[in-house]
């Protein structure tokens, strides 16, 4: 037996089990989440669909929702957080201004609506032609499923398109799909933060060189890279960390990589599991360090037992690996005993056993430079709102083209394999008919291979296996066998 000190090679073998465990846990949580949401959604739809209350805090940020109760000292309001409603209370001492009943239009909540927003509303298109200033701005919207719609090939193509315009600002909007539909649940509900998506880190590592290597190497003038986070969950959480400039939208979240320690369950020996956790932390911390962020945040986001607090000193966050003392705030507790997140908290993504950054916390600890809900606000924050030109690039076409191509490819692959299985030798079944059938099979395989190669990075082994699609190298073997059959055949 060969002893290995390999790190990630293990993943292919462990994936089915990890996914299986994750799926069981997920269904249990999903049920609670759905029920909890139903109890409060009617209130929201009746009273908050058309208007909202906006509370501006002394730290400059604003919170939107519906005020439920106001006393002399506090304001209690219902806010919507990543599609889930939750109550929050504020001391009046930290409130600067309250604006009630601001008329709103219904807001898209996730990727699918965001995409239709781009396509039908033409918001992005409209904004492309704005401005004649000297700062050239290019926008790339990363929405959809991380690792499939959001993947290195279209990102690289979009960044290369931006390069053509010699842009000053490259703004990457991260809004990945984190709905339960990804794991067979309801699209309306978000996945829990502790679902164990840490290993999507390795997909993020496929993509980050576009920003961290290609741009420094290939661009003569370095653009300011800005990540605007709307939803950066799972592997998508790692990507913005490569950039020193991150902004959040007010309902944004960055995380969903909790419970690294459960990734392998009780498989094997503890020392090897610890090795696996350690090397993953090492990779993720490296990304944070490269972007200029505190690496301990990675532990806080991924390890249930890790405790991290902070306080602001001279405008910067100082971190402490303990429960908070006077003047400090808790980011994550140890998740033990009374500190363990309740199922209610987990269902509402409000737990603190592992850290998922929201806009407020991200701003407090310096991960986010500011909270902005519109692109115009972002430009304003970047101090270029009066002096910019929006580049009418191809990024939208590139990203959408990839997603549409991938969806179509999946359909086509299934169809091709069905057709491949149905190829039969026609009557009278002679040499000519057998040769013809082999030719048809080879031709189908070549079509499959062409598509598999083109979309290889986005076609997971799991998907290929579930749909009976052979991999690239398997197809080579099948083609060889057909060739050999033909050689053996006789007239």
Partner 1 sequence: MNSIKRFRGALLAVIAMVLTMAIFPASAIADTLHMKDGRTLEGTVVKEIEGYVWFKFMVGGIEQTQMFRPSDISSIKRDVPGEAQEPSEPEIEAVMPNESGEEQAFVPGVPRIAIITLGEEGGKDMVGIYMTAYALKEALPLLEKEHVTDVIFRINSGGGALLEIQRLSDVIQNEYKPRFRVIAWIESAISAAAMTSHAVEDIYMMPQGNYGACTGWSGQLVAVKGRQLEQVLYMMEKISARGGHDPKIMRAMQIMEPLSCTIEDNGDVTWYQNETDGEYLVNPKGRILTFNSQDAERYHFSKGTAATYEELGKLLGYDEYEWVGELIPGEPFPISKAERLQREFRAKTFEDQERTREYFDRYGSSIAAAQGTPRADRGKFVNRARKALNQLVRMVKNNPNLALFTFNMMPDQFPLWEEEQRELLRQLMQ
Binding site for partner 1 (CB under 8 A): 1-10, 13, 205, 209, 212-213, 216-218, 264, 267-279, 281-283, 285-287, 289-290, 295, 473, 476-477, 480-481, 484, 487-488
Whose Cβ is closer to partner 1: residue 11's or residue 25's? 11
Instruction: Using the structure block, give the residue that is written with the tokens 């931006």.
Output: 162
Q: Under 8 Å CB-to-CB from 235, ≥6 apart: which residues?
A: 146, 147, 197, 199, 200, 201, 202, 203, 204, 257
- Least CB distance to partner 1 at residue 459 (A): 16
Whose Cβ is closer to partner 1: residue 296's or residue 311's? 296
Triad 454, 460, 463: Cα angle to 5° = 110
Q: What is the spatial distance between Cα 344 and Cα 30, in angstroms, rounded to a whole number?
A: 11
Whose Cβ is closer to partner 1: residue 11's or residue 86's? 11
- Least CB distance to partner 1 at residue 39 (A): 42
- Least CB distance to partner 1 at residue 490 (A): 9
Q: What is the spatial distance between Cα 200 and Cα 38, in angstroms, rounded to a whole number?
A: 31
DSSP state, residue 121: I
Instruction: Using the structure block, give the residue that is written with the tokens 């703004």.
Output: 171
Cα–Cα distance list, 94 to 59, 60, 249 (Å):
8, 10, 20
Whose Cβ is closer to partner 1: residue 111's or residue 281's? 281
Whose Cβ is closer to partner 1: residue 273's or residue 442's? 273
- Least CB distance to partner 1 at residue 10 (A): 7
Decide: 295 and 288 in contact? Cβ < 8 Å: yes
Whose Cβ is closer to partner 1: residue 103's or residue 271's? 271
Instruction: Map 453-465 to HEC letters.
Output: HHCHHHCCHHHHH
- Least CB distance to partner 1 at residue 393 (A): 22
Omega into 428 within 30° of 0, i.e. cis? yes
Whose Cβ is closer to partner 1: residue 84's or residue 159's? 159
| Nearest alpha carbon to residue 461 among 21, 22, 4, 11 | 11
Q: Taking the chain, what is the end-to-end CA distance rounded to the nearest angstrom? A: 48
Whose Cβ is closer to partner 1: residue 191's or residue 298's? 298
- Least CB distance to partner 1 at residue 224 (A): 18
- Least CB distance to partner 1 at residue 369 (A): 20
DSSP string, 267-289: -S-HHHHHHHHHHHHHHHHHHHH
DSSP string, 303-321: -TT--EEEEEETTEEEEES
Task: Classify residue 462 by burial, with Cβ atoms within 10 Å: 0-12, 13-18, 19+.
Answer: exposed
- Least CB distance to partner 1 at residue 400 (A): 27
Instruction: Map 218-269 to HEC letters.
Output: HCCCCCEEEEEEEEEEHHHHCCHHHCCEEEEEEEEEEECCCCHHHCCCCCCC
Whose Cβ is closer to partner 1: residue 267's or residue 423's? 267
- Least CB distance to partner 1 at residue 3 (A): 5
């Amino acid at each position: 037996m060969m002893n290995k000190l390999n790190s990630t090679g293990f993943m292919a073998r462990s994936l089915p089990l990890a996914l299986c465990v994750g799926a069981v846990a997920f269904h249990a949580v999903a049920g609670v989440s759905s029920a909890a949401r139903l109890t409060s959604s009617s209130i929201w739809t009746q009273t908050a669909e058309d208007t909202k209350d906006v509370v501006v805090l002394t730290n400059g940020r604003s919170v939107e929702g519906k005020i439920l109760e106001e006393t002399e000292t506090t304001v209690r309001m219902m806010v919507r957080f990543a599609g889930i409603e939750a109550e929050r209370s504020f001391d009046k001492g930290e409130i600067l201004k309250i604006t009630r009943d601001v008329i709103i239009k219904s807001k898209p909540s996730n990727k699918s609506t965001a995409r239709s927003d781009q396509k039908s509303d033409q918001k992005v298109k409209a904004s492309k032609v704005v401005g004649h200033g000297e700062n050239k701005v290019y926008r790339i919207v990363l929405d959809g499923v991380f690792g499939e719609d959001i993947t290195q090939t279209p990102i690289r193509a979009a960044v290369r398109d931006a390069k053509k315009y010699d842009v000053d600002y490259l703004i990457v909007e991260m809004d990945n799909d984190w709905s339960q539909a990804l794991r067979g649940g309801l699209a309306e509900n978000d996945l829990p933060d502790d679902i164990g998506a840490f290993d999507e880190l390795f997909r993020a590592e496929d993509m980050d060189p576009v920003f961290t290597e290609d741009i420094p190497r290939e661009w003569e003038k370095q653009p300011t890279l800005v990540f605007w986070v709307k939803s950066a969950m799972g592997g998508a959480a790692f990507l913005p960390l490569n950039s020193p400039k991150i902004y959040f939208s007010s309902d944004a979240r960055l995380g969903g990589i909790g419970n690294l320690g459960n990734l392998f369950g009780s498989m094997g020996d503890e020392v090897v599991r610890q090795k696996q956790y350690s090397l993953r932390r090492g990779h993720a911390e490296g990304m944070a360090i490269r972007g200029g962020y505190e690496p301990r945040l990675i532990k806080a986001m991924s390890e249930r037992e890790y405790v991290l607090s902070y306080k602001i000193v001279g405008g910067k966050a100082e971190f402490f690996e303990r429960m908070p003392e006077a003047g400090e705030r808790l980011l994550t507790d140890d998740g033990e005993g009374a500190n363990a997140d309740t199922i209610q908290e987990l269902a509402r993504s409000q737990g603190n056993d592992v850290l998922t950054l929201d806009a407020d916390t991200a701003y407090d600890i310096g991960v986010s430079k500011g909270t902005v809900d519109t692109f115009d606000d972002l430009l304003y924050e970047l101090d270029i709102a009066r002096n910019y030109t929006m580049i009418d690039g191809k990024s939208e076409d590139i990203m959408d083209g990839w997603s549409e191509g991938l969806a179509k490819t999946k359909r086509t692959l299934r169809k091709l394999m069905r057709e491949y299985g149905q190829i039969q030798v026609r009557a009278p079944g002679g040499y000519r008919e057998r040769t013809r059938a082999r030719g048809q099979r080879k031709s189908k395989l070549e079509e499959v291979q062409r598509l598999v190669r083109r979309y290889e990075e986005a076609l997971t082994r799991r998907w290929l296996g579930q749909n009976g699609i052979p991999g690239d190298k398997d197809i080579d073997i099948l083609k060889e066998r057909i060739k050999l059959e033909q050689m053996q055949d006789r007239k």
